Chains A and B, each alone.
Chain A
Amino acid sequence: MVKETRHLKKEKNKTLNQALFIVGALIGWELLARTGWFPPLLFPKMSEVFTQLIAEIVNGEILRRLAFSLYIILWGLGLAVLTSAVVTTVAMLSPLVSAWVQALMAIMHPLPGIAILPIIILWLGTGSRSIVAVIWFSSIWPLIANLHTGLRSVPTTQIEVGRNLGLKGIALVRSILIPGAFPYILTGLRVGWARAWQASVAAEMVFGASGGEGGLGWFIYKKRFFMEIPSVFGGMVIIILIGLLVERLCFEGVEVRTVRRWGMTSE
């Protein structure tokens, strides 16, 4: 109980510290912009960024773009999670496939998703299908890498204990393998999510986005060409906020309820 409150207090202090740092950085930005040392067109005041952001939220454009980005990322990431689950399962069952998967990972992992965009455009054309494909490609390798390593790192003794308790097949996977590999699975999802965002924004900025179906990448791209620089920063602020929100609400929530509760982290 004492340990619990101490832990909570530490968490609170950390959050407060981080919040103070962010507020300080924002004030520093505002002051720097107000000195007039930089062209205001390229380096707008923070206050202007937020006024503009509120205007974009009120007129609905930024939220529509955000909804589209999330929709397309969920598609790409969802497909990547499914594919990686299937691939890893097969790899776990066959050492031969496992070797192939490892070779493929070594080849593909360093390749940024955006690098395959020109080929994707030639094969699938422009539009959201191509962007989903780039997101899928960007997030699948960290997912497979972590799943694969995670499952293989579950100690044999634990598996044997499970077998002794009479667990077999899916029950064994659910009760021993998945919990054992969970820290890795979570890391894979985190990296996959981050990569999916990067890929979607980058892909829409390079090309393939269009007026009808475009997310935040297209929003930022378009605002840049109309020289609405506060809105460009506004788009970035939204991406940061969504990142923080998902990290805090989804990943940390899951982590506290699983990995930490199971005593699998040092903290």
Chain B
Amino acid sequence: MRKVVLVFLSTLLVIGGVLGPLVQAAPMEELKIAGQFGLVYAPLMVAKARGIFERHGLKPVWKEYGSGGAVREALISGEVDVGFMGIPPFLIGWDKGCEWKIACGFVIVPIGLVTYDPNIKSLKDFKPEDKIAVPSPGSIQHILLAMAAEKELGDPNALDNNIVAMAHPDGAAALISKKGIKAHFTTPPYLFEELSQPGFHLIVDDVTIFGHPFNFNVGVASERFHDRRPAAYSSFVNAIGEAMAWINCNKEEAAKLLAPEFGLTPEKTLTYLNWEGMNYTSAPYGLMGFGEFMAKAGYIKRAPASLEEIAFENVLAIVGSRAGGPSEIEKIQY
């Protein structure tokens, strides 16, 4: 009996001796990620479902937040290592002294101002009592509205008294029931749902305002995280890239995977993933364009002078710096 126990124990020891170093050789680094809910965050849902972060040696800890403001506060307090937000909220933080930079672009989606009122064809047709819902003050939708107001009405603050802050689902519900608000500046899937209603139309869209597509969100990491944990940082960037590429190469499978999360049918999810303008990419688009406008309109004190001030080296490397004048990819940053 004693012999059996001895053999058993020594076998365990041998197994432990062989496997122990192997397990230790690939330690999983913990990465705390701030996520939000919606079609934009599909790459994060895919990464979660397919264990993409784990394959890159990271042990992701997911934290869900309800708004970009909350994600920003979580990043500042060190509750999370990386998060995703629109360029304007990122710049507001940068302007206030947050030590963080852009680690990657994160998805391009169509954004638009929708109304049900046939008399509203442009921003000029808004009366003082017509309410326009945006997710929050300082959000990318609010800044786009201000940009459009400057272009069409000559004053970025012309519509500030018309805005009301509403989360996307509440805004969509209010617009579709035609209660309280006249227009809603929103993103997919709410944009698609609203535009599918009879008589609902776009007043203005993001590309018309900005001139070309731009990242709806950017991946943001603190300089502290980037400097102290370079391996985890690059694994994060690569994992995001892999999730983006997987969606693009496997749209139908992605739709099946995501449908239950959104409470939609796989067919409808696929329609949304393939909607014109949707682009699952981690390339940087339009990183610099908001800064100048926001500084001029007084939302931030100064605009970043160069991309180096707001983006990490992997982003700088993608954009490059062409001698003798900007390249195409440099031009689309503005």
Contacts and interface: CB of A to CB of B under 8 A. Distances in A.
A207 interface: yes
A93 interface: no
B329 interface: no
A41 B179 contact: no
B278 interface: no
Nearest to A227: B96
Interface in A103-131: 118, 121-122, 125-127
B164 interface: yes
B163 interface: yes
Contact of B164 (A41, A42, A118, A207): A207
B154 interface: no
A209 interface: yes
Contacts of B89: 225
Interface string B64-101: 00000100110011100000000001001100111000
Interface in A201-228: 207-212, 221-222, 224-228
Contacts of B136: 221, 225
A263 interface: no
B60 interface: no
B170 A207 contact: yes
A17 B96 CA distance: 38
A126 B138 contact: no
A39 interface: yes
Nearest to B70: A224
Contact of A121 (B93, B163, B174): B174
B164 A210 contact: yes
Nearest to A224: B69
B77 A125 contact: no
Contact of A125 (B97, B137, B170, B180): B180
A41 B76 contact: yes
Q: Which of B77, B98, B161, B180 has most A Cβ within 10 Å?
A: B180
Given A122-B179, A212-B161, A42 B138 contact: no
Contacts of A227: 72, 92-93, 96
Interface of A: 39-42, 118, 121-122, 125-127, 207-212, 221-222, 224-228
9 contacts: A39-B78, A41-B97, A125-B180, A207-B164, A207-B166, A207-B170, A210-B131, A211-B137, A227-B96
Interface of B: 69, 72-73, 76-78, 89, 92-93, 96-98, 128, 131, 136-139, 160-167, 170, 174, 177, 179-181, 299
Given A210-B131, A211-B160, A212-B162, 16 more contacts: A39-B77, A41-B97, A42-B73, A121-B174, A125-B179, A125-B180, A126-B181, A207-B166, A207-B170, A209-B165, A211-B137, A211-B162, A211-B164, A221-B165, A227-B72, A227-B93
